[in-house]
Structure 1
Amino acid sequence: MIAPTGVLRASINLGNPVLASGSAADPGGITVDLAREVGRRLDVPVELLCFDAARDSFAALVDGRADLGFLAIEPARAAEVSFTEAYAVIEAVFCVPASSSITSVADVDRPGVRVGVKQGSAYDLFLTRTLSQATLVRGSEGTSVFEEEGLEAGAGIRAPVTAYVEGRDGVRVVDEAFMQIRQALAVPRDRPEADVAWLAELVEELKASGFVAEALARSGQSGAAVVAPPSH
């Protein structure tokens, strides 16, 4: 069963403002809407477990505290949770000092370039396996460690990185995205295959019906695009 206790315990990452907002006492956003819709379809109450980072949301799924999560699809996570297809995609970008010679994604992966990342985020995992020469510096936020330690680049989701840059002189965004973050629903690996298939079908239905697009619009988020159904 997806909710073996009779309550759907959904793990919500408040650290991603595109997908969730508000506080633990009053969360909102597309992931909250999706959790409540899954609970409605299962005819069970929903308990929202809110965290400040994807790594903590993921840990709640792995250690059994949560039944449903909302995470970026990454190989390092797929060994421990089962994913649906993506329901939305978010771009990740770099910010750099305005005077930097870095103008493209390719320019970042060079000796001596230190990149700030949010520890355990999807882009931390992605850059860990794709960068060969640059060095990652992990912190609470990619932009925070970039600023605090005077790094050559900071990584993050496009919307908050753009907002960070707009409020500061001497910093700019490298417009080219270095990653397309594919956001999906996830459940612990021990859930039956039939239940995972049911959840995957529901996600495709909610994408096709406009539920996902409407939820994003209600939350005022333009930083995510609905993923088209997979071709058959």
Structure 2
Amino acid sequence: MTLPSETLDAAVKAELAPSGTLRAGLIEAPAPGLIFVSRSADGTPAGVTADLAHDLAQRTELPLAVTLFPNSGAAAAALQAEAIDVSFMPVDATRRQVLDFGPGYYDLESTYLASAASGITDVAQVDRPGVRVLAIDGTTTFRASARTLMHTQPVAVPSVAEAVSRMRAGLADAFALSRDTLRPVVQQVPGSRIVTGGFQQTQVAVAVPKGRSGALATVTTWLDEAKRTGVVRRIFDAHGFSGDPVAP
């Protein structure tokens, strides 16, 4: 890898991790995905982004501290406030105004999970008066859903767990989320289905606080190399995402 720790000078290291510890913000959900982590039996975060954060810390020879957030909006706010140093989240124009993004590692499509009772099978059928739609507060998916729905609007919920609870209770007809993340959610909402079609395509990328040019250069070099050398591919495969391509 072309990021040997001995060449990472003290000033750049201090910019990447001002506290001396790499503070990574990860997003928690009931089931892990290509963005979300879950807690393993001993309580530690497990998932693709947990492994990516560990690899970055190892390559930069920094101790790692992980903070878990209920949604990517909360993680983005913490990153903007510089309460954390790095995170992994979907990119949109709103976030680019306040955060700096390095390379993407996954091409994301946002779509809907529909309840059995709704009868909804494709993305266009969600956009009808009276359809009760949920989306995670502060996320790119929430903003894209609100922007593309003309005849109804999403209701903000704080977490995947809350959305699943409302769907199971029959309090919502559709739940907006990335397609990969909805795959395990289907199993938690009996009779539900992921609809055909989508309403947002974007990348999931590594993010740092705005204005830290050295930190941005470091995470960019790291992730580009992790993709080139197959590290990201192996992490995907280890977590059961062998059918999902790594972003070029």
TM-score with structure 2 setting the length: 0.79
The alpha-carbon deviation at position 81 of structure 1 amounts to: 0.9
Q: Which residue of 1 aligns with 2:231?
A: 211
Aligned length: 227
Distance 1:30 1:99, change over 3 A: closer
Q: Which moved more, 1:4-13 or 1:112-121?
A: 112-121
In structure 2, the gaps of 5 or more residues are: 1-14
Pair 1:5-2:34 in alignment: no
Which among 7, 17, 21 is matched to residue 38 of structure 2?
21
Q: Which residue of 2 aligns with 1:37?
A: 55
The alpha-carbon deviation at position 186 of structure 1 amounts to: 0.4
Distance 1:135 1:149, change over 3 A: farther
Residues 124-160 of structure 1 deviation map (CA, whole Å, 9 limit, x = unaligned): 1221233232211122334433444533322223355
Distance 1:37 1:129, change over 3 A: same
In structure 1, the gaps of 5 or more residues are: none
Distance 1:108 1:88, change over 3 A: same
CA contact (8 A) 1:115 1:146 kept: no
Q: Which residue of 2 aligns with 1:51?
A: 69
- Return the alpha-carbon distance in structure 1 between the equivalents of residues 53 and 205 of structure 2: 12
Query: Letter of the aligned partner of 1:21 in structure 2?
Result: S
Pair 1:116-2:126 in alignment: no
Query: Letter of the aligned partner of 2:203 in structure 1?
Result: R
The alpha-carbon deviation at position 39 of structure 1 amounts to: 1.9
The alpha-carbon deviation at position 222 of structure 1 amounts to: 4.8
Which among 144, 148, 159 is matched to residue 126 of structure 1?
144
The alpha-carbon deviation at position 64 of structure 1 amounts to: 1.7
Distance 1:167 1:151, change over 3 A: closer
Percent identity over the alignment is 31
Over aligned residue pairs, what C-alpha RMSD do you find? 2.5
- Return the alpha-carbon distance in structure 2 between the equivalents of residues 213 and 203 of structure 1: 12
CA contact (8 A) 2:110 2:141 kept: yes
| Residues 99-178 of structure 1 aligned to structure 2 (within 5 Å) | 100=118, 102-139=120-157, 140-141=159-160, 142-148=163-169, 150-166=171-187, 168-178=189-199
TM-score with structure 1 setting the length: 0.84
